[in-house]
A = this chain, B = another copy of it.
Amino acid sequence: MQNAVLKRIHARHWAPGTLLPNEADIALEFGCARSTVNRALQSLADKGLLERRRRGGTRVVEHPERVATFKIPIIRLQIERSGCDYHYQLLSQNHLTQKQKIARGQGVQQMGDTLHIRALHSSDGNPYVLEDRWIDTRIVPAAKEADFSAISPNQWLVEQIPFSGGDLKLSAIKAKAADAKVLKCQAGDPLFRTERTTWNTERELITVVNLTYFHGYKMQVEL
């Protein structure tokens, strides 16, 4: 059923921008139940191929934007899955003063009591990614007790915090001297960075994290 609809869209029987017949009519035409049609169209809408509105009907999307889904793995698993040895090292851990918080960007400023952690994840002994993380210990009090010399905040949080929304920015930065030293590259080298903020279900800011990858890292996504 869903395939039948897909075929029509591909065959441009229903071209981009077209308003489809309503579900009941489609069901009649295909000789199936409306709920079947509903499921099929629903699913295509989830994939971004159709737009649906009550009373407004179902429309083939004009510019079908490609939708890529990519997974944000626990770093340890990402490394181990590629068959390499994983090593983790805590670099520093301290509470931020008010001044320090203001010196960081937007996100960190909003947080209450802030724990700042720097840690390095390595793959087969080579620096892989530098984790720079701020955790709001008012929202996640357990973080004060956690032993981040044994488990990375990355892994600890994923296991502790049930679910959440967030925001992710990807960019290229120039390696600062301090980071270059840790990541064993030259100062000035281009480095791949992700900046992530995470909220819990009450939309309270839990954590902000910058991940700076080794020189030459490519992030891979399936389409």
Decide: A168 and B10 in contact? CB cutoff 8 A.
Answer: no
Chain copies in the assembled complex = 2
Q: Which of B49, B63, B172, B217 contacts A190 (CB 8 A)?
A: B172
Residues of B contacting A46 with CB < 8 Å?
46
Decide: A219 and B170 in contact? CB cutoff 8 A.
Answer: yes
A91 to B75, CA, bound (A): 40
A145 at the interface (CB under 8 A from B): no
A222 at the interface (CB under 8 A from B): yes
Q: Separation in Å of the A154 CB from the closest CB of chain B?
A: 11
- 9 CB < 8 A contacts A-B: A10-B162, A64-B158, A68-B70, A68-B168, A169-B221, A170-B218, A170-B220, A172-B191, A174-B190
Interface residues of A in 145-202 (CB under 8 A from B): 158-159, 162-174, 188-193, 195-196, 198, 201
